[in-house]
Amino acid sequence: MSKPSIIFDNYTLPSGVELKNRVLMAPMTNFLSNEDGSVSRKELDYYMRRSGGVGAVITACANVNAHGKGFEGEIGVDRDELTAGLSMLADGIHEKGAKAILQIYHGGRMCPPHLVPNEDIVSASAVPAERENAKTPREMTEEEIQQTILDFGEATRRAIEAGFDGVEIHGANTYLLQQFFSPHSNRRGDQWGGNVRERMNFPLAVIETVKSTVANRATEPFIIGYRLSPEEREEPGITIDDTLQFVDVLAGQGLDYLHISLSQFNQSSMRDKSAATPVIELIQERVGNSIPVMGVGSLITPEDIEKSLATVPLVSLGRELLVEPDWVEKVENNKDIRKAMKLTQKEDLLIPEPMWTNILSVPNWIPVDKEE
């Protein structure tokens, strides 16, 4: 196809940071950090392999404190000693021409017990996740809530000191910030729970401390994004109406973008099967004039991206950049892109163990070309 110009148009975020195009690398768990949470050489190589074409790289989630670690091989941003490795990562992404955004988060009740101190998993309330063998978390105390809010601020400070261009606050995919917003996981009767507006208090407090840290520490424009999942299947769970009320408030927080976590870019409500309008369109119509909205989800071809950018100004690619690290460069130069990966391409793709085995263990998640 001829060069699809809108993909390669630059875009200036509200903070003033300019992205060279409209395509970002989506945050994806990679299991590649060292056991202590420091950046490993193979992790650095993995990111640099995918940083050449995109406007920005959003890293895998980095835990802001020890109780928030949700994955083996997870990158950490919870201690000053990790800043040197984070700086290498930011520098490596910059070297290839992309902006670097560190995703910061706390796993809450989704953390495997063996990864947190004393196997003491915490959440908004003592309600287990609806999954097999889920452990009931301990309800966070007021002191722990206040400390976790501060920890998000400290994580932001470290990201600034490491040279990142921004942070993405991870409020999606069932992790702690979503647990506070969800009526399933938040049954609190204090200021951190209650009706839909009151359940916003914890994520809003995190946003406020991140903004304050940026105002006090950053010497150049610094990106603050927020990722959210618009619905939950649980009863009670987050509804589209809840989310529309939430994005109304988020749109007034001075953020750079809202990143809507969906498995399919154009999917409609998973709770209301009679609803036909794509969720991303509902959110864009609601707040798109006030804050940039970013979409994601099974966008494979340039044509897919073009259609998506007719709805929202920014998109992120995940699996597509695993299969085709040079997706943006090849599209820009009218070259064919890989839509499936061969098992013999492990070295070229720079997907090391244990990530390689982990992604292939999920049935049909990665398209694999088994013909050699």
Would you say residue 273 has pLDDT above 70? yes
Residue 99 and residue 113 in contact, taking contact as beta carbons nearer than 8 Å: no
**pLDDT classification of 365: cutoffs 50, 70, 90:** confident
Per-residue model confidence (pLDDT) at position 83: 98
* Placement of tokens 């950046």 in the chain: 39
d(CA 309, CA 24) in angstroms, rounded, equals 13
Q: How confident is the model over 64-88, as a mean pLDDT?
A: 98
Indicate the DSSP class of residue 76: B
d(CA 132, CA 193) in angstroms, rounded, equals 26
Q: State CA 54 to chain mean position distance.
A: 16
d(CA 232, CA 213) in angstroms, rounded, equals 31
pLDDT tens-digit series, residues 135-176: 999 999 999 999 999 999 999 999 999 999 999 999 999 999
Residues whose CB is less than 8 angstroms from the CB of residue 235 and which lie 6 or more positions away in sequence, other chains included: 184
d(CA 322, CA 327) in angstroms, rounded, equals 10
d(CA 109, CA 91) in angstroms, rounded, equals 33
**pLDDT classification of 69: cutoffs 50, 70, 90:** very high
Is 105 one of the catalytic residues? Answer: no
Would you say residue 1 has pLDDT above 50? no
Strand 11-12 relative to strand 18-19, pairing: antiparallel
pLDDT tens-digit series, residues 293-317: 999 999 999 999 999 999 999 999 9
d(CA 158, CA 149) in angstroms, rounded, equals 15
Q: Which of 46, 47, 105, 175 is catalytic?
A: 175
Per-residue model confidence (pLDDT) at position 150: 98
- Average model confidence (pLDDT) across the chain: 96
d(CA 311, CA 237) in angstroms, rounded, equals 27
| CA terminus-to-terminus distance, the chain | 27
Residue 28 and residue 316 in contact, taking contact as beta carbons nearer than 8 Å: no
Indicate the DSSP class of residue 303: H
pLDDT tens-digit series, residues 110-131: 999 999 999 999 999 999 999 9
SS (H, E, C) 158-219: HHHHHCCCEEEEEECCCCHHHHHHCCCCCCCCCCCCCCCCHHHHHHHHHHHHHHHHHHHHCC
Would you say residue 371 has pLDDT above 70? no
Name the CATH superfamily for 5-369.
Aldolase class I (3.20.20.70)
**pLDDT classification of 6: cutoffs 50, 70, 90:** very high
Exposure of 339 in the CB half-sphere (CA atoms within 13 A): 8
Domain residue ranges in the chain: 5-369
Task: Give percent above pLDDT 90 in the chain.
Answer: 94
pLDDT tens-digit series, residues 341-356: 989 999 899 999 999 9
Task: Provide the token pair at 24.
Answer: 């970002």
Q: How many CB atoms lie within 10 A of CB 280?
A: 26
pLDDT tens-digit series, residues 199-218: 999 999 999 999 999 999 99
Would you say residue 5 has pLDDT above 90? no
Q: What is the pTM of this model?
A: 0.97
Using DSSP, state whether 223 is helix, strand or coil: strand
Using DSSP, state whether 228 is helix, strand or coil: strand
**pLDDT classification of 2: cutoffs 50, 70, 90:** low
Task: Provide the token pair at 6.
Answer: 């809108």
DSSP sequence for 84-139 = HHHHHHHHHHHHTT-EEEEEEE--GGGS-GGGSGGG--EESSS---SSTTPPPPEE
